[in-house]
Structure 1
């Protein structure tokens, strides 16, 4: 082990850990009596190692978020070794905790997932890709928060040079092309990290037990990510993770924010509440429609009772009544009040309400981030066509830009948007099969060329 450097204003305490290119030491900042972690390079500032440390300091210092490890400073030691001063995370990494305590609960995994996806969205919005998300790079701070560490191989979101990603967490497009990946690659790696919190291992190590790196890489390239074999992991969460782990980047969530929203909706379905998204200019919770749906679902029992005897007819009746009640309440409170029926009763338009029932874009907020956020589509409406067997929806883009596309998904009669099956179109129109026995609803967002998504989708329904 190299001798810990002498740094003015800091007192050496001990060793935290080591990696392939650096040691991490614990120091005490004498002026504040605050413990910090100082990452010191193992070499004497050759160009590559020096560039890595400078990159880490630049990227992390500008990314201010509770779930990104804070950078306090950087420099070069007297003997030429680069160093970076970080917030000290006394509770170790997610990898350490899995090794010591076993897998995480579903509730904790969802909570961490929303927080980390929020931080990742902030990084991506700043055109920064992490490129090495994994359990060992998620540290637990003194406040008990998960924080993304080690932006040393992070880079601009449009820089596709080969760098970063550890094989168990790397998406197939990075392994296949040896490219640097993009924001969708980070979403994949975050999903693999959350998967490991529930399964104890990365997805392909868990499922296929490869014995070599070559076997692992072959699994990632040619085999599907399997569901987690845990009875308490709900299918809704399995679907969210497997979508984020889709081998085709185009089929994953469009942004880390959309990934966070999907995790929030699972939380609300299971527990009746959600971890807020913490990004300036972004609503902390999903739209009122999603909240209403998930809240209704969350009010139902989370698990079946002990085996009943001779109660099958009663159970079937109770289920039917419960479904009808949930549908009726949500339809009356969400869909019906917002439908503007036309004279021929074949078209309808719904203005997407905000969390407080007001239009989502009419809050008068002049915050810089809000001013630069992607707007929602406007004038979204649906009309029955082809003998009422289909509904054609059209909308307008209030701020069209080169490369704009539109992400849309069907909304069920209960108001639940099927985010796991969201699709992209290039033009502001889509035709869908008409829903039997109720209104046909969709929600739409604008997707910019830089992969920023409308902070809130707009919803519309057509009713006969």
Structure 2
């Protein structure tokens, strides 16, 4: 494999990788700014799909400005050889750890991250898009406690028919699995499933194998947090479990409704200040 190269950038160090992509900490040669650069190269088994996703990511989100959404800077296409090329997405560099690696969190932290992410997704919804792939791995937490959504590859127009199964199985809503109508309530489920995992360490979904064998299988949360020896305020548990209902009509109807309930919950979970 050739050494990684992106025109206009000095690649400093590898900071992440996935199926067919790599993410580098990089310096923009002209401005000196430190950014993150995600590279997708043709030739991997997933390259065609990843090319579509990274192009969609930039097209949809490059003008968004929200404190809890990573800023996208530019899309760079480089031809490495006559028969080989790559696409790179330059974005804001976020020092921090994935939400999935945060360890045990307090109820106040859970409610705070939940509210930050809900506000970011509400911003997206007001601009006509839904995320469709919210999961702990797509969120970075800075040392200051700011949550940042860092991937928009599956974003699509809200209120449309979903023509193919897309998303991450453990966090997908039933309408994603069964190629149904997707809207704000789909993101409400994805975010609720993310917080369920953060609180309990478990998935709201059945196993992938079982769901593929049974076309009518839907996620059912059969255990309360108390039965799993997890202590969170009842109002927070109620919001998470309602957000993970199989039927969209039984979930909060919009992300704004989620935010309003979280505002009340956060007011009761703040850590007391020492006087």
TM-score normalised by length of structure 1: 0.52
- Once the two structures are TM-superposed, the CA of residue 187 in structure 1 deviates from its matched residue by 0.8
Who is 1:200 aligned against?
Answer: 201
- Once the two structures are TM-superposed, the CA of residue 15 in structure 1 deviates from its matched residue by 1.1
Alignment of 1:77-116 (within 5 A): 77-79=78-80, 80-97=85-102, 102-116=103-117
Who is 2:218 aligned against?
Answer: 221
Secondary structure at 1:214 match in 2: helix
Who is 1:241 aligned against?
Answer: 240
Who is 1:329 aligned against?
Answer: none
CA 1:268 to 1:76, structure 2 compared with 1: closer, same or farther past 3 Å?
A: same
Secondary structure at 1:108 match in 2: helix
Q: Deviations over 1:139-185 (max 9, x none)?
A: 1246541111211111111342225211100112222x134732211
- Once the two structures are TM-superposed, the CA of residue 29 in structure 1 deviates from its matched residue by 2.3
**Whole-Å separation in 2 of the counterparts to 1:70 and 1:155:** 18
| Contact 2:176–2:182 (CA under 8 A) maintained in structure 1 | yes
Aligned residues: 261
**Whole-Å separation in 2 of the counterparts to 1:2 and 1:19:** 18
| Contact 1:103–1:199 (CA under 8 A) maintained in structure 2 | no
| Greater mean deviation of Cα atoms: 27-36 or 180-189 | 27-36
CA 1:235 to 1:167, structure 2 compared with 1: closer, same or farther past 3 Å?
A: same
Secondary structure at 2:218 match in 1: helix
Secondary structure at 1:103 match in 2: coil
- Once the two structures are TM-superposed, the CA of residue 2 in structure 1 deviates from its matched residue by 5.9
- Once the two structures are TM-superposed, the CA of residue 50 in structure 1 deviates from its matched residue by 3.0
- Once the two structures are TM-superposed, the CA of residue 24 in structure 1 deviates from its matched residue by 1.2
- Once the two structures are TM-superposed, the CA of residue 272 in structure 1 deviates from its matched residue by 9.3
Secondary structure at 1:13 match in 2: strand
Alignment of 1:122-133 (within 5 A): 122-133=123-134
Unaligned regions of 5+ residues in structure 2, if any? none
- Once the two structures are TM-superposed, the CA of residue 216 in structure 1 deviates from its matched residue by 6.1
**Whole-Å separation in 2 of the counterparts to 1:122 and 1:240:** 20
**Whole-Å separation in 2 of the counterparts to 1:225 and 1:57:** 39
| Contact 1:44–1:82 (CA under 8 A) maintained in structure 2 | no
| Contact 1:115–1:146 (CA under 8 A) maintained in structure 2 | yes
**Whole-Å separation in 2 of the counterparts to 1:255 and 1:50:** 31
Secondary structure at 2:100 match in 1: helix
| Contact 1:168–1:216 (CA under 8 A) maintained in structure 2 | no
Who is 2:4 aligned against?
Answer: 4
- Once the two structures are TM-superposed, the CA of residue 253 in structure 1 deviates from its matched residue by 0.7
| Contact 2:200–2:230 (CA under 8 A) maintained in structure 1 | no
Who is 1:397 aligned against?
Answer: none
Alignment of 1:43-192 (within 5 A): 43=42, 48-79=49-80, 80-97=85-102, 102-141=103-142, 143-160=144-161, 161-175=163-177, 177-179=178-180, 181-192=182-193
| Contact 1:225–1:242 (CA under 8 A) maintained in structure 2 | no
Who is 2:37 aligned against?
Answer: 38
**Whole-Å separation in 2 of the counterparts to 1:2 and 1:181:** 41
| Contact 2:76–2:87 (CA under 8 A) maintained in structure 1 | yes
| Contact 2:185–2:248 (CA under 8 A) maintained in structure 1 | yes
CA 1:122 to 1:165, structure 2 compared with 1: closer, same or farther past 3 Å?
A: same
